[in-house]
C-alpha cells in the first residue's frame, strides 16, 4: 500500500472549490501535498504560495504548461511566452515541476504538430533550468489526440524527452491516460529517472463522459498497484497525485471529496 504521506490532492479533483477550500480540506484530512492549477495562481502567485505554505502543505506540481502547436509562428511564440510565465509561476508557488499538456495540431498534420512540441520545449528548457523547474510531458489518452494533446503514448513522450537532459525534461505518468498501452511497462522501464510524477484515478465502465468521466480509485479496471509498483521499481519515490475530472464528484463539498480521496488512496493505490 502507498502511504498517505505520499498523497497529493490535485486541485481539479474538487474542480468547483476555491484553492483556499481545497487547502483547508487537505489539512483536515492529513493530506500533505497539493497540485494547484494555474487559474488559481496566475493573478497572485505569492499569495497562492503563502496560502499553501502557511497551511503546511507542499506543492507537487503546477498544472499546466504546454499547448505548443499552432498554425502561425506568431501564435507559437505567444505559447512559448506563456510557458515562460508558467515556469515563473511554478517557481513562485514552490514546486520544481511544471506539467506539460501539449495541445492538439492546428490542422491534420499530427506529426508536424509533434515536432512543434519538441521545438516548444527546446525554447523554454533553459529558462526552466535556471528557475529550478523541471518540465513533465504528460501523454494524454489517445481519445484526446484531436483536441488536447498530440502526445498520446509513453513511447512518444519518452522519444520527445530524449532530446533533453534527464534531470530537466521527463514524464508525468497518469494511469488514466496510459493504462491500456501494451507497451506501458516497457516504457516505464525506459523512462527510468525521467518519471517526474505519478497520477492516479480509475477508468470506470461504462465511461460516463470522455473528459469528465474519470473514476475514483477502486471504482474501475486499472491495475493501480501494478502500475505503482512498476514506477517504484524504476526508482520513483515522489508524491502520488490524484487528479479526477468527474461532474458527480465535483458536486460534493471539497471536504467530502478530500476525505473520500484519502480513503480510496489508502485502500487501492
Q: How far is the CB of 199 from its own copies (least distance, A)?
A: 17
Using rule CB under 8 A, residue 147 touches its own copies: yes
3-state class (DSSP) for residue 23: helix
Helix (H) or strand (E) holding 101: strand 97-101
203 belongs to the binding site for its own copies (CB under 8 A)? yes
| Residue 210 touching its own copies (CB under 8 A) | yes
143 lines the binding site for its own copies (CB under 8 A): yes
Question: In this complex, which beta carbon is closest to its own copies, that of residue 67 or of residue 254?
Answer: 67
Considering only 38, 76, 134, 141, the residue that binds its own copies (CB under 8 A) is 141
Task: Check binding of 71 to its own copies (CB under 8 A).
Answer: no
- Least Cβ distance, residue 232 to its own copies (angstroms): 19
142 versus 166: smaller Cβ distance to its own copies: 142
User: Count of residues binding its own copies (CB under 8 A)?
Assistant: 33
Q: Which three cell numbers stand for residue 236?
A: 520513483
Q: Which is nearer to its own copies, 42 or 183 (CB)?
A: 183
Q: Does 114 bind its own copies (CB under 8 A)?
A: yes
Residue 125 · residue 135 · CB < 8 Å: yes
Could you tell me which stretch among 60-68, 220-228, 229-237, 255-263 binds its own copies (CB under 8 A)? Answer: 220-228
- Closest separation in Å from C-beta 246 to its own copies: 16
Angle at 155 between CA 154 and CA 159, to 5 degrees: 115
Residue 110 binds its own copies, judged by CB under 8 A: yes
DSSP 170: E
Nearest 5°: CA angle at 203, between 37 and 33? 35
Q: Which of 47, 50, 205, 248 binds its own copies (CB under 8 A)?
A: 205
Query: Least distance in Å: CB of 211 to its own copies?
Result: 9
Is residue 229 within the footprint of its own copies (CB under 8 A)?
no
Any contact of residue 146 with its own copies (CB under 8 A)? Answer: yes
Query: Which residues neighbour 220 within 8 Å (Cβ) at sequence distance 6 or greater?
Result: 202, 203, 204, 205
DSSP conformation letters of 98-161: EEEE-B--SSS-HHHHHHHHHHHHHHHHHHHHHTT-EEEE-PPPGGGTTTTBS--SHHHHHHHH
| 11 contacts: CB under 8 Å, gap ≥ 6 | 17, 19, 22, 34, 35, 36, 37, 40, 63
Question: What is the longest distance spanned by two Cα atoms in the chain?
Answer: 49
Give me the residues that bind its own copies (CB under 8 A), please.
Answer: 104-105, 107-111, 114, 141-143, 145-147, 152-153, 155-156, 159, 179-183, 203, 205-207, 210, 220-223
Amino acid at each position: 500500500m502507498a502511504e498517505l504521506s505520499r498523497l497529493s490532492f490535485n486541485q481539479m479533483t474538487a474542480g468547483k472549490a476555491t484553492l483556499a477550500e481545497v487547502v483547508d480540506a487537505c489539512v483536515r484530512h492529513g493530506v500533505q501535498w497539493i497540485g494547484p492549477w494555474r487559474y488559481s495562481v496566475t493573478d497572485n502567485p505569492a499569495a497562492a504560495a503563502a496560502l499553501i505554505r502557511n497551511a503546511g502543505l507542499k506543492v507537487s506540481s503546477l498544472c499546466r504548461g504546454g499547448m505548443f502547436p499552432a498554425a502561425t509562428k506568431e501564435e507559437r511564440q505567444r505559447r512559448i511566452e506563456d510557458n515562460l510565465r508558467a515556469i515563473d509561476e511554478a517557481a513562485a508557488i514552490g514546486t520544481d515541476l511544471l506539467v506539460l499538456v501539449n495541445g492538439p495540431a492546428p490542422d491534420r498534420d499530427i506529426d508536424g504538430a509533434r515536432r512543434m512540441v519538441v521545438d516548444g520545449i527546446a525554447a523554454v528548457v533553459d529558462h526552466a533550468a535556471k528557475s529550478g523547474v523541471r518540465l513533465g510531458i504528460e501523454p494524454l489518452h489517445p481519445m484526446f489526440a484531436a483536441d488536447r494533446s498530440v502526445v498520446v503514448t509513453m513511447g512518444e513522450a519518452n522519444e520527445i524527452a530524449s532530446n533533453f537532459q534527464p534531470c530537466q525534461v521527463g514524464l508525468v505518468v497518469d494511469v488514466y491516460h496510459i493504462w491500456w498501452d501494451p507497451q506501458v511497462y516497457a516504457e516505464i522501464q525506459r523512462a527510468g529517472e525521467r518519471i517526474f510524477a505519478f497520477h492516479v484515478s480509475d477508468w470506470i465502465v461504462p465511461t460516463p463522459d470522455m473528459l469528465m468521466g474519470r473514476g475514483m480509485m477502486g471504482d474501475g479496471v486499472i491495475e493501480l498497484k501494478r502500475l505503482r509498483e512498476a514506477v517504484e521499481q524504476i526508482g520513483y519515490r515522489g508524491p502520488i497525485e490524484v487528479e479526477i475530472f468527474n461532474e458527480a464528484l465535483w458536486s460534493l463539498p471539497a471536504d467530502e471529496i478530500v476525505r473520500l480521496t484519502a480513503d480510496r488512496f489508502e485502500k487501492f493505490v
